[in-house]
């Protein structure tokens, strides 16, 4: 059995990351891999309820962080860890980097507290009880805030985060850049401002380079 593979997708709202997850899932499935597609906040019945609260109910940054990590813990227990134990590829739309970018950089919440919550929520779930679960790779769609804002303006009615001003997303974007600088081996930066086909080519090329996708993948 091949080992499980955990790939996350990150970027500010409007970065366009979600549109590439399905294409990547199909490429892995064409290679015979089982794929679990999921998202955060969400991925389980409980976590989806918490997602609805996070996106629509007013709350302070600490409450946001606690709800996000509560949802993440349930997501890891119920979905992510079992899938990885079965040798599946888990493709997750957002994970902990989003918490450091949105609640940490965007809201200005204490990063030290986020580190504590990260360790509490993500440790003790795998076969190695001391392992803190992190992605094997994080595909970061780096897009200028102005471009993302134009995309959001043409989309659905905004949720509580999407309705934030551009200054908030500037801080979030900087938060992602800081996370990428701390984990350069894990992060794959994608120029998300390019046309859709070129962005997809970047994603596939990066995963081929890591030996995870065959050259024949579209």
Q: CB-based burial of residue 71 (10 Å sphere; 0-12 exposed, 13-18 middle, 19+ buried)?
A: buried
Residue 19 is labelled as binding a ligand = no
According to DSSP, the residues that pair with 37 across neighbouring strands are 91
H/E segment holding residue 30: helix 18-30
Distant-in-sequence, close-in-space partners of 47: CB < 8 Å, separation ≥ 6 = 40, 41, 71, 72, 74, 75
Residue 17 is labelled as binding a ligand = yes
Bridging pattern class, strands 89-93 and 5-10: parallel
Distance CA 121, CA 154 (A): 36
Q: How many CA atoms lie within 13 A of 190 on its CB side?
A: 30
User: Residue 54's closest CA among 42, 38, 37?
Assistant: 42
Residue 4 is labelled as binding a ligand = no
Q: Is the dihedral of CA 108, 76, 152, 35 positive or negative?
A: positive
Distance CA 115, CA 49 (A): 24
Q: Which residues are annotated as a binding site for ATP?
A: 11-18
Q: Which residues are annotated as a binding site?
A: 11-18
């Amino acid at each position: 059995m091949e080992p499980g593979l955990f790939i996350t997708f990150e970027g500010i709202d409007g970065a366009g990351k979600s549109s590439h997850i399905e294409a990547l899932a199909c490429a892995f499935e064409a290679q015979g891999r089982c794929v679990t597609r999921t998202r955060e906040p969400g991925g389980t019945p409980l976590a989806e309820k918490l997602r609805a609260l996070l996106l629509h109910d007013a709350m302070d940054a600490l409450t946001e962080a606690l709800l996000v990590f509560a949802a993440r813990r349930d997501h890891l227990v119920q979905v992510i860890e079992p899938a990885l134990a079965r040798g599946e590829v888990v493709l997750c739309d957002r994970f902990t980097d989003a918490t450091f970018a949105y609640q940490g950089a965007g809201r200005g919440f204490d990063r030290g507290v986020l580190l504590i919550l990260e360790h509490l929520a993500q440790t003790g779930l795998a076969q190695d009880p001391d392992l803190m679960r992190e992605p094997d790779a994080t595909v970061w769609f780096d897009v200028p805030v102005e471009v993302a804002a134009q995309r959001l303006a043409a989309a659905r009615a905004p949720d509580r985060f999407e309705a934030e001003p551009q200054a908030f997303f500037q801080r979030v974007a900087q938060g992602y850049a800081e996370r990428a600088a701390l984990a350069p081996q894990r992060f794959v930066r994608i120029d998300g401002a390019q046309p859709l086909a070129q962005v997809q080519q970047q994603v596939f090329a990066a995963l081929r380079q890591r030996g995870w996708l065959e050259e024949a993948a579209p």
